[in-house]
Amino acid sequence: MACCVCHSPLSRPESIQKGIGPICEAKETARSARESQDKRDDTVTRLPFDPETMNVLCERGPGDFDCRFNIPQAIKLHSPTGMEWGYGGSGPADFALNILFHFTGDREFAERYHQEFKGQFVAGLPESGGRIPGATIKAWIDLRGGRFA
């Protein structure tokens, strides 16, 4: 039997059962993850950022990938599917990371403190979305010696 992607002979029983070799399977998995991220990137709606209040906003729209934010995702570190909120996973970690980076412009600071910030502010946001007051974020950053961009 041959791999359905590259047509090389398959020798491992698990590869024969799947009809695909391990290298092609890994490539297909990575391609699928990239396409999922591209689909999400194409559907993210940007909410307006108010430079006066500096409130961070997120909301969930009707579609599967319809998460809306008022800050961009400048850094992708944890989540292959993008920023999220409302639980303690990788998507909320990336949201927290990008909030801190947005406010400070300091990637090192953002990476050092984003998990703590996630636990205090992002993980507890309602599933439908919410607001983190800009003044609260600034005070939190200030307590940790951060500087604002």
The whole-number pLDDT of residue 43 equals: 44
The whole-number pLDDT of residue 25 equals: 80
Contacts of 119 (CB under 8 A, 6+ apart): 88
Q: Cβ distance 120 to 100 under 8 Å?
A: no
Contacts of 60 (CB under 8 A, 6+ apart): 66, 67, 68, 127, 128, 129
Phi first, then psi: what are they for 130, rounded to 5°? 180, -165
The whole-number pLDDT of residue 139 equals: 97
Q: Is the pTM of this model over 0.75?
A: no
The whole-number pLDDT of residue 28 equals: 81
**Block means of pLDDT (10 residues each) for the chain, length 149 residues?**
84 84 80 58 71 95 84 93 94 97 97 98 96 98 93
Q: For residue 103, what are its two tokens?
A: 């406010």
The whole-number pLDDT of residue 58 equals: 96
